[in-house]
Amino acid sequence: MIPKITLWVLMGIGIVISVLFYAGGSEGTLDVAGDTLNIPRHTDLFLNWNYILFAIVCLVTLVVVCITFANRFTTDRKGAIKSLAILCLFVILALVCWFVGSPEQINIIGYEGTDNVGAMAQLTDAMLYFTYILLAGVIVAIIWGAIYTRTRK
């Protein structure tokens, strides 16, 4: 019952914040390459809500992984060690993507802030590289699964 209530509360807050963002008017305009763009009034609220939701998802995922690992470790140690090895590979992949990322400034048209240089720029690069690698892995897994299934028949 509590997860269902939590879902509805989070979704309701998200809907209200989204309506405020999309229909809440604008703080002004910005001229970018000859085009006039509106700046939504509740952009910071919308972005912060997304950060909060992302943090909740990360926390819940981490808790579920830890609980699953603990339960599996008591029944199937070999399977639990394999799961831990896969998790370690993901951490290593994330670290490699972090070190491949560049801390140099990203030039964004119309952006005046400081979040596009240093660690934030490197994090952005790392997330993009991580996403590309995982996407390639999914494509390879789909192709391999189709080939494996057809050859097994």
User: What is the SS3 assignment for 67-133?
Assistant: HHHHHHHHHCHHHHHHHHHHHHHHHHHHHHHHHHCCCCCCCCCCCCCCCCCCHHHHHHHHHHHHHHH
Q: How many domains does the chain have?
A: 1
Does residue 101 lie in a domain region?
A: no
Does residue 117 lie in a domain region?
A: no
Q: What is the DSSP letter of 24?
A: S
Does residue 13 lie in a domain region?
A: yes
The backbone torsions φ and ψ at residue 6, rounded to the nearest 5 degrees and listed phi first, read -60, -45
For residue 44, what pLDDT is reported? 86
Does residue 104 lie in a domain region?
A: no
pLDDT digits (tens, 9 = 90+) for 13-38: 999 999 998 888 888 787 777 778 77
Does residue 138 lie in a domain region?
A: no
Does residue 29 lie in a domain region?
A: yes
Does residue 41 lie in a domain region?
A: yes
Report pTM. Answer: 0.61
CA distance 59 to 51: 12
Which range of residues forms the domain containing residue 51? Answer: 1-75
CA distance 58 to 63: 9
Does residue 81 lie in a domain region?
A: no
